[in-house]
Amino acid sequence: MALLEIDKLNTGYGEVQALWDVSLDIEGKGITALLGANGAGKTTLLNVITGLQKAWSGEIRFAGKNLFEIKPHNRVDLGIAMVPEGRGIFYDMSVYENLLMGAYTKNAREKTKDSLDWVYSIFPVLKERPEQMAGTLSGGEQQMLAIARALMSRPKLLLLDEVSTGLAPALVLTLMDILVNVAEKGLPMLLVEQHIEMALEVSRIGYVLENGRVVIQGESKDLRTDKKLREAYMGI
Ligand code: ATP
């Protein structure tokens, strides 16, 4: 059984449908990539998982539970954390304060000290500057803080929305190495990316959304050489 099972999901905004019969499984291991162009529906799908966006029809099960019976604010407690596009950190709060904000659920609060040690070991740069205001960090450091804050909730599944946006290529590689490492140690992730080649390098399974529909899916190692995908999305 997959950790997260999405079955024939439909949703949209007003009268406009954004997702059409989307079915997708996230295994309890490694990184699953969700790919597609601007406006394909990637963020909408993440928002249905976290509960920001309501489904019109379909089903999502997380660890066997019907997610639609669980209120959005309780889904964090259940183990679903998201790093939103644009990071969503608190710029006028310190690194340390931002991290504490990530551990707000009862479950996570009890593990705060452990969690801090854990995220500081993953991102040593944050350990060196707990008092620094988040707004004065570099773009890369802010992204690390956003991820670290999500980790503070001790998730069982991490959703990442275009975390590479605006970062220098070398930094993106470093960040991906870190994510692969954390994922391999037991935290499955759904990685939403526009950098298709890179996302397929780091993931085990990939899905491609086009106009709200899953048009390609498979093992990432196969998708890397998939003719249709390369022609349509990599211009090769
Ligand atoms: P991007 O990479 O640009 O973030 P995306 O793949 O995440 O794109 P979504 O943001 O999910 O795509 O958008 C899917 C579709 O839904 C688009 O046509 C978009 O215009 C529409 N949409 C998204 N949010 C809203 C909203 N709040 N109100 C109306 N339409 C929306």
pLDDT at 166: 86
Mutational pocket test of ligand 1: of 42, 54, 159, the residue with most ligand atoms within 8 Å of the beta carbon: 42
198 lies in which domain range?
1-79+187-236
Pocket test for ligand 1, best of 43, 49, 83 (most atoms within 8 A of CB): 43
The pLDDT score that the predictor gives to residue 227 is 84
Compute, in angstroms, the gap from residue 46 CA to the centroid of ligand 1.
11
CATH number of the structural domain spanning residue 11: 3.40.50.300
Res. 236: pLDDT tops 60: no
Instruction: Quote the pLDDT of residue 85.
Output: 86
Beta pairing partners, 57: 10
> Is 54 part of a structural domain of the chain?
yes
Query: Token digits for 63?
Result: 């660890």
**Two tokens at 9?**
């999901």
pTM to 2 decimal places: 0.94
159 touches 46 (CB < 8 A):
yes
Whether the predicted pLDDT of 222 surpasses 80:
yes
Judge whether 149 lies within some domain. Answer: no
What are 104-158's pLDDT values in tens digits? Answer: 888 899 999 999 999 999 999 999 999 999 999 999 999 999 999 999 999 999 9
Show the 3-state SS of 153-184. Answer: CCCCEEEEECCCCCCCHHHHHHHHHHHHHHHH
pLDDT in tens, 176-220: 999 999 999 999 999 999 888 999 999 999 999 999 999 999 999
**More confidently predicted of 168 and 234:** 168
* Ligand 1 atom with the shortest distance to the CA of 44: 11
pLDDT score of 10: 98
CA dist., res. 29 & res. 18, Å (int): 28
- Degrees (nearest 5) of the Cα angle 81, 164, 218? 75
169 pairs with which residues across the strands?
none
Residue at 182 is within a domain: no
Which residue do the tokens 């997959």 mark? 2
Does the residue 55 lie in any domain? yes
- Tens of pLDDT, residue by residue over 16-39, are 999 999 999 999 989 999 999 889
Identify the pLDDT of residue 235: 63
Compute φ and ψ for 191, nearest 5 degrees.
-105, 110
Q: What is the mean pLDDT of residues 49-63?
A: 96
Q: What is the pLDDT of residues 155-180, one digit of tens each?
A: 999 999 999 988 888 999 999 999 99
Q: Give a yes or no: residue 211 inside a domain.
A: yes
Q: Cβ(18) to ligand 1 under 6 A?
A: yes
In a domain, 50, yes or no: yes
pLDDT of 88 over the 90 cut: no
Residue 132 domain flag: no
71 inside domain: yes
How many structural domains is the chain composed of?
A: 1
